Amino acid sequence: MKIYCDTAVLSEACLNVQRAVSNKTTIPAIEGILIKAIGNELLLTGYDLEVGITTSIPCRVVEQGAIILNAKILCDIVRKIPGEQVYIETDERLLATIRGGEAEYSLIGIDGNEFPELPTVSGGYPVVLDQKLLKDMVRQTIFAVSINDSKVVHTGVKFEVTQNLIRLVAVDGSRLAMRTESINYMGDDINFVVPAKTLNEVTKLIDDDEDTVSLGIGKRHIVFEIGNYSIVSRLLDGEFLNYKNAIPPTCASTAIVSTREMIESIDRTSLIITDKFKSPVRFIFDKDIVRISSVTALGTANDSFPCKYEGNKVEIGFNNKLLLDALRVCDADEVKIELNSGSAPILILPTQGDNFLFLILPMRFKKD
């Protein structure tokens, strides 16, 4: 193989593909990036047997070929090598020579045929949506994914796609996050769960422009097509929580609050809560005010903020972090909070429409 590439373009591609490379493995091939010169393109692939990232960049191919090079070393070399153009040549001994400016490196590679084949995804009606919309929907749900759940399926985000509608749902033992949006889709109803790790990589490749992302869904794998990049991932098996049964169908009381004022009040009241000194934050919803307080071995904190309230007085406690996580992704000046009692979960909703829903379970106070 003999090729000439733009240094900056190759460096960016290597860094993006490197995110799918395995760091802890006994298989040397998947510690590397597969580079393959075909026609007038260089194909780069990283794959850790769970998530694979592939892209192609233009290059001048003098001699076609393929080789696997250690991902970290290759990325470091291309990132630091001088000159606007980099030259890569490999020989029959799998020795790769990389030159740029006055710098030259020799790396021992691995035969490209030893790289594991990525899963193929075919069939089905593609799901196409705006990149920015997908990024926002993931951001507004992925924070609620379970980290230490015995059910692996809850470590991902559930996608529900029906005609002209897409919904993302994430749950852990204490909360639920749901985001719904209208899209142009006319295929069959489909449900699948994407690992949080995959979605983190997807959002890193998304630009905040008007381009679209295409989702191809198979029985066991999904592929995201984003610009010149393809991300293929396994889907998570298992029975996802029947989240609809967890959402209270009615509420006894409602509060309309300023999102910013509530975040700031929780922040102030949480100053005496630490990893060592933990305590729920106490809320009292009553009339046109929300009183908030916390008590730990370090002291006490009290605050309040206004609200538009309908219903009976409710006293309830929450983990401050869970509330802040939800409020910070609401993207709304005001939110509606639905309550039933001091021991029932609350819902955080938009004041108009139903494009997001956050459910949070309360915490008991020590005296309870």
Q: For the purposes of burial, counting CB atoms within 10 Å of the CB of 73, is it exposed (0-12), middle (13-18) or buried (19 or more)? A: middle
* pLDDT tens, position by position, 234-258: 999 999 999 999 999 999 999 999 9
May I ask the CATH class of domain 248-360? alpha beta
pLDDT above 80 for 368: no
Cα dihedral 62, 63, 66, 71 sign: negative
What distance in Å separates the CA atoms of residue 73 and residue 166, rounded to the nearest whole number? Answer: 41
pTM of the model: 0.92
The alpha-helical segments, DSSP class H, found in the chain are: 7-18, 71-80, 131-139, 196-205, 243-246, 259-269, 320-327
Tell which residue, 137, 125, 130, has the closest CA to residue 226: 130
181 in Cβ contact with 198 (< 8 Å): no
Average pLDDT over the chain reads 94
Tell which residue, 317, 318, 279, 321, has the closest CA to residue 297: 279
**Domain layout of the chain by residue ranges:** 2-114, 127-243, 248-360
* pLDDT tens, position by position, 116-147: 999 988 877 789 999 999 999 999 999 999 98
* pLDDT tens, position by position, 284-329: 999 899 999 999 899 999 999 999 999 999 999 999 999 999 999 9
User: Residue 355's Cα: distance from chain center in Å?
Assistant: 18
Q: Phi and psi of 96, rounded to 5°? A: -105, 130
pLDDT average, residue stretch 176-192: 94
Domain at 2-114, CATH from 3.10.150.10, 3.40.47.10, 3.40.718.10, 3.30.200.20? 3.10.150.10
Q: How confident is the model at residue 227 (pLDDT cuts 50, 70, 90)?
A: very high
Topology match between the domains 127-243 and 248-360: yes
363 DSSP assignment: B
What distance in Å separates the CA atoms of residue 176 and residue 241, rounded to the nearest whole number? Answer: 10
Reading the block at residue 60, the tokens are 């001048």
The amino acid sitting at 126 is P
Q: How confident is the model at residue 149 (pLDDT cuts 50, 70, 90)?
A: low
What's residue 254's pLDDT?
Answer: 96
pLDDT average, residue stretch 201-220: 89
What distance in Å separates the CA atoms of residue 323 and residue 256, rounded to the nearest whole number? Answer: 15
What's residue 367's pLDDT?
Answer: 59
Go through the chain and tell me how many residues it has. 368
Q: For the purposes of burial, counting CB atoms within 10 Å of the CB of 225, is it exposed (0-12), middle (13-18) or buried (19 or more)? A: middle
Q: For the purposes of burial, counting CB atoms within 10 Å of the CB of 233, is it exposed (0-12), middle (13-18) or buried (19 or more)? A: buried
Domain 127-243 has CATH 3.20.20.80: no
pLDDT above 90 for 274: no
pLDDT average, residue stretch 11-34: 93
